[in-house]
């Protein structure tokens, strides 16, 4: 391609090339060339899904104003007391993590674990 001309995708580039040239593996070469085209990688295609607009996240200043939590497991190795899950809680303001072993993921078990943290 001429630097400012661009190409018109894999199919049209193949057609244009095959009007005057051929070599073994021409289809693979054109496919790899079009897929690795720097401007195409930066701009994308018209049919690509539009991304949501970025918005600033609110600043969390107070500890425990907002927390994230998740349950990890079941783990292959359990503790002596049979705990095979871990409740992980992270505070958004301080980024302080807490981890509590759980025997199950039932609501009452998770609620009891949350009470030990808070």
Separation of first and last alpha carbons in the chain: 63
Q: Is the pLDDT of residue 45 over 70?
A: no
| Contacts by residues 65-73 (CB-CB < 8 Å, ≥ 24 positions apart) | 65/92, 65/93, 66/91, 66/92, 66/93, 67/91, 67/92, 68/92, 69/114, 71/102, 71/105, 71/110, 73/102, 73/105
Question: What's the pLDDT score for residue 35?
Answer: 80
- The mean pLDDT value for 88-94 works out to 91
Structural domains for the chain: 1-53 (no CATH), 67-117 (3.30.420.10)
In this predicted model, which residue has the larger pLDDT, 37 or 17? Answer: 17
Taking residues 43-50, report their average pLDDT. Answer: 65
| Averaged pLDDT, 76-105 | 87
pLDDT given at position 52: 77
User: How far, in Å, CA of 85 to CA of 74, rounded?
Assistant: 5
Residue 43: pLDDT over 70:
no
Which two tokens mark 44?
């994308």
Question: Which is more confident, 8 or 108?
Answer: 108
Higher pLDDT, 65 or 4: 65
pLDDT digits (tens, 9 = 90+) for 22-31: 889 988 988 8
């Amino acid at each position: 391609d001429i630097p400012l001309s661009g190409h018109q995708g894999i199919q049209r580039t193949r057609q244009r090339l095959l009007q005057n040239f051929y070599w073994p593996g021409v289809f693979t070469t054109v496919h790899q060339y079009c897929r690795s085209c720097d401007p195409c990688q930066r701009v994308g295609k018209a049919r690509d899904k539009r991304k949501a607009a970025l918005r600033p996240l609110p600043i969390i200043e107070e500890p425990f104003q907002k927390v994230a939590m998740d349950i990890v497991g079941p783990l292959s190795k359990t503790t002596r007391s049979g705990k095979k899950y871990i409740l992980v809680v992270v505070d958004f303001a301080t980024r302080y993590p807490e981890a509590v072993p759980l025997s199950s993921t039932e609501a009452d078990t998770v609620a009891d674990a949350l009470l030990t943290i808070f």
